[in-house]
Structure 1
Amino acid sequence: MLLQMSFLCLSCLAVFSHSQHQASLSRSNDPTGRCVYTFEVISPQETSCTRNSTESEMDEVLTRLTLLEAMVSQLIARGGSGTGSGGLRYNDEYLQEAYAQVTRERNQLQLEQEHLKTQVQKLQSTLAELSLETERLRQRPSEQTNTSGGTLHENRPLRDPGYHFKNTSYQEMKAEVKKLPASHLIPEGNHSLTGCGELLSVGDPVLHRKADAITGKYGVWLQDPDPRGPYYTKNTVWRIDAVGKEVRQLFIYENIDQFSKGFPMKVLVLPEPMESTGATVYQGSLYYQRRRSRTLLRYNLTSENLASLLDLPHAGFHGQHPYSWGGYTDIDLAVDEQGLWAIYSTSKAKGAIIISQLDPESMKVRRSWETKIRKNSVGNAFMMCGRLFTIASYTTPNTTINYMFDTATNEGQSIAVPFMNKYRYNSMVDYNHAQRKLYAWDNFHMVTYDVRLGWVGQGSS
């Protein structure tokens, strides 16, 4: 804009100089001390002019001169003391500097944009994890209605109004730890013995694999202690990531080494979505709970189809009686030396753990036992030698196996066997009697624990 105004001024001067023989531009101070520019042109035809004939013309000239003076003053103020090419160079340098500044600001904005994109991705990841945690919190026992349309025992709702969390007096027990002579101990690492005994100790967790996606925060992984069929063995590893609305993928690994490396040999898609982390593998079949129901399914791993199903009578489901960590862990299926078990609760039991032994073929209930410890007061549980063992906490690093119920004697007692939640979010614990190990899923980490038993005889009672 300044260049255009300068060119206009110089053009005006050139026109006046060309059309008139004598013209001058002078600069002087007015009576007030201000600097004034005066432009004079001598008429070649008139020696003098009357005011009446030239008044309008002079007014117009004065207006134009005033505008010209203003433009010249702006040029001098912005261009410094130099004129002509010096002023042009100054303006050119000014424009270049302004362009460079704009370029720097644009680059800075691009960097900030990339940084914001990274922050958005992190926030999206955090949001996904918080959504999962919110879902977990919603799974805790609360007022619910029967959405399955089934009939419950004694026509009670899914949420028993007589069930009070603060009333824990009936489960207060004194710790009783029995000591056995050293001659009765099973040697560590000797898996050939099938005898059952008192649980003396549990080793530190051994890491085999860490999940690499948010869907692997919790899940199920195990080996079949009694495989059937030509395709799979005791070495085969089974894994299910249990985070998501439609849990259907079953990953199969040839052995523990391929499992640790993350190389599945096959992936099966289950015909019905799975609920929670209570599934187990036994005698060539996968046993699991159908999503949002008390229906148990047996999926034949050789023929790859549903073999049988059962509605577990009166069992709570989808957040009525879970373990303390939530996860819709209302029904937990387990295997030990004596066969297939279901760990759950009902409205009639008011949240106390019920153990039912199931037929592996039909899954019908053979017999049930009711304990005196609430399911949502413990972090997890497993079966061993026909006995229920509960873990006090799923998140405390150094917790204990705090309760044992023996189905042979129909008696329960408090115990105190140290147990470690190394990664502080243990969502699945199952016993494998063939390997003499506990399998667990602890906050993305798939681990095993060696167990030490006090031998009291061969076989199971």
Structure 2
Amino acid sequence: MWFLAVMWISCLLVGTQAQSTASFSRGNDRNRRCQYTFTVDSPTEASCPSTASSAEMEALKSRLGLVEALIARLAGGEASGTEAQMGLRTAYTQVIGERDRLQQEKARLSQQVEQLQQTVEQLQREAERLRSRPCTQQPSQSVPLYDSSLQPGTGTSHSHLVSRPGRTQGETSSLRESSWSYGSPAYQEFKAEVAEFPAPRPEDNVDSRGCGELLWVGQPVTHRKADGIAGRYGVWMQDPEAVSPYGSNMVWRIDTVGTEVRQLYGYEDMDQFSRGFPTKVLLLPEAVESTGAAMYRGSLYYQRRRSRTLIRYELVSESVAARRELPHAGFHGQFPYSWGGYTDIDFAVDEKGLWVIYSTNKAKGAIVVSQLDPHSLEVKKSWETNIRKTTVANAFMICGRLYTVGSYASPNTTVNYSFDTTTSQSKAIAVPFQNRHLYNSMIDYNPAQKKLFAWDNYYMVSYDIRLGKQQ
């Protein structure tokens, strides 16, 4: 009993100190004796986490750290993405605004160009009206209309009194002469026009219906502008001896910018051509090289790309009717005109038939002119000139004479050389010629209309000409 009481008191004390409950167990020892066992939790150990609990807590802390890092990264990424989006949105707004400003500037410039073109057309119409209207001359009583000593054939003409070298357009007062009367304002206006565009003199024996030497080239008249970048260079033409079903009013056009140029556009007349409404589109069987094509007697004559092969494409059958190699001719940049464009071989048509303008190694770059059989493309006769092909901007034939243009980019240049196939003689000339749009890549003569056709930096233009009487 005493033993039990002592044990009970000890348990109370230990339980009070441990601040926990004690466990009691009873069992037999090795000698089969009854053994009582009391187990009391230590206050220090009871307050410490177990090993398993510590591992779980560390793992939990690690996961929480990873989650916090991921949240921080996502928050930072979202912020940077938002900033990037705001930057892109700002840049896009700036680009849109710049585009709108450029479009407005383009529209303004286009409107100015249209106004200038209208003004030029009005001035041209007024000039034609003034040229066609007879002069109203009111001679003064004290001063005769003209000097009686100036007789026809003396080499002195009235145009000398109207236009003097060294005069400028603004010096209208200095144009007055004592032998002329200006009683009519209309006549004064006409005289100023003549001063700006002097007509050929009487001793030049002008006859626009003849086949003489080139005397004068008028200002370019614009017919249309190409629609896109493919139309910066090209060739446009009318057949001077058209064959049914296509009439002489039919206009043909080829845009020569591109590696495989094969489209031939046909327009019913000049009005439809100016409006840009083709009535016929033909796909050529072989690609065209450069701007040297020509239309003659119902066929298109052109150089096959990257070769010296000449092709006659018949419009009626829409097929190749003849082909022939041009002997020894340079091609694809060997002897082009000064503006380039692989213009080594250039077809031309005039009153005497079909020609081809080119050069060879034997000629050392000098222009060679050959007259062709329009049916078989056989060379009938050739002439070698002393004009270097790469030094001139372009060339054309009129009445069996070769003419060259000095510059393709200068606004005011000249037709600077001529070569007569009848006499095999060449000479330097100076007939004024204008490149209004500053990049003339094609010039051809139409003998039916007595006009020059040209392609000047997207613009298709024509020039009136005047020829002297045939000798």
- TM (norm. structure 2) is 0.61
In the alignment, is the contact (CA less than 8 A) between 1:180 and 1:454 conserved in 2? no
Partners of 1:419 and 1:301 lie apart in 2 by 33
In the alignment, is the contact (CA less than 8 A) between 1:184 and 1:456 conserved in 2? no
1:359 maps to a residue whose letter is D
1:106 positional shift: 2.3
1:367 maps to a residue whose letter is K
Which residue of structure 2 aligns with residue 109 of structure 1?
88
Partners of 1:245 and 1:444 lie apart in 2 by 18
1:399 positional shift: 1.4
Deviations along 1:29-80, whole A, 9 cap, x unmatched?
A: xxxxxxxxxxxxxxxx69xx999557857xx99xx9xxxxxxxxxxxxxxxx
Give the root-mean-square deviation of aligned CA atoms. Answer: 3.7
1:455 positional shift: 2.2
Asked whether 1:329 is paired with 2:349, we answer: no
Asked whether 1:416 is paired with 2:416, we answer: no
Deviations along 1:153-182, whole A, 9 cap, x unmatched?
A: xxxxxxxxxxxxxxxxxxxxxxxxxx9751
Partners of 2:334 and 2:306 lie apart in 1 by 11
Asked whether 1:211 is paired with 2:216, we answer: no
Asked whether 1:384 is paired with 2:404, we answer: no
Partners of 2:363 and 2:43 lie apart in 1 by 119
Asked whether 1:352 is paired with 2:331, we answer: no
1:273 positional shift: 1.1
Partners of 1:375 and 1:331 lie apart in 2 by 11
Give the secondary-structure state (helix, strand or coil) at the position aligned to 1:408.
coil
Partners of 1:250 and 1:325 lie apart in 2 by 23
1:308 maps to a residue whose letter is A
Which residue of structure 2 aligns with residue 400 of structure 1?
414
1:38-437 matched pairs, under 5 angstroms: 52-53=44-45, 56=48, 106=85, 108-110=87-89, 112=91, 181-182=201-202, 184-186=204-206, 193=209, 195-228=210-243, 230-437=244-451
Give the secondary-structure state (helix, strand or coil) at the position aligned to 2:374.
coil
1:111 positional shift: 5.5
In the alignment, is the contact (CA less than 8 A) between 1:201 and 1:417 conserved in 2? yes
Give the secondary-structure state (helix, strand or coil) at the position aligned to 1:286.
strand
Residue identity over aligned pairs, in percent, reads 59
Deviations along 1:191-219, whole A, 9 cap, x unmatched?
A: xx2x1122222111111111111211101
Which residue of structure 2 aligns with residue 134 of structure 1?
none
Change (3 A) 1:253 1:117: same
Change (3 A) 1:50 1:282: same
1:409 positional shift: 1.1
Partners of 1:119 and 1:239 lie apart in 2 by 36
1:236 positional shift: 0.5
Which residue of structure 1 aligns with residue 37 of structure 2?
none
Partners of 1:246 and 1:53 lie apart in 2 by 95
Partners of 2:362 and 2:352 lie apart in 1 by 27
Change (3 A) 1:100 1:420: same
Partners of 2:298 and 2:309 lie apart in 1 by 20
In the alignment, is the contact (CA less than 8 A) between 2:200 and 2:206 conserved in 1? no
1:242 positional shift: 0.7
Deviations along 1:281-304, whole A, 9 cap, x unmatched?
A: 011111111111111111111121
Partners of 1:287 and 1:185 lie apart in 2 by 35
Segments of 4+ in structure 1 off by > 6 A? 98-102, 114-120
- TM (norm. structure 1) is 0.62
Partners of 1:250 and 1:284 lie apart in 2 by 14
Partners of 2:90 and 2:355 lie apart in 1 by 58
1:392 positional shift: 1.1
In the alignment, is the contact (CA less than 8 A) between 2:200 and 2:216 conserved in 1? no
Partners of 2:328 and 2:361 lie apart in 1 by 8
Partners of 2:206 and 2:446 lie apart in 1 by 16
Partners of 1:317 and 1:429 lie apart in 2 by 19
1:117 positional shift: 10
Partners of 2:280 and 2:406 lie apart in 1 by 36
- For structure 2, the residue ranges without an aligned partner over 5 or more in a row are 1-18, 21-40, 58-74, 100-198
Which residue of structure 2 aligns with residue 126 of structure 1?
none
Count of residues in correspondence between the two structures: 324
Deviations along 1:99-152, whole A, 9 cap, x unmatched?
A: 8996675254146358779999xxxxxxxxxxxxxxxxxxxxxxxxxxxxxxxx
Change (3 A) 1:205 1:180: closer
Partners of 1:118 and 1:295 lie apart in 2 by 52
Instruction: Decide which structure has the larger Cα Rg and report it.
Output: 2
Partners of 1:183 and 1:394 lie apart in 2 by 31
Give the secondary-structure state (helix, strand or coil) at the position aligned to 2:213.
strand
Partners of 1:185 and 1:118 lie apart in 2 by 62
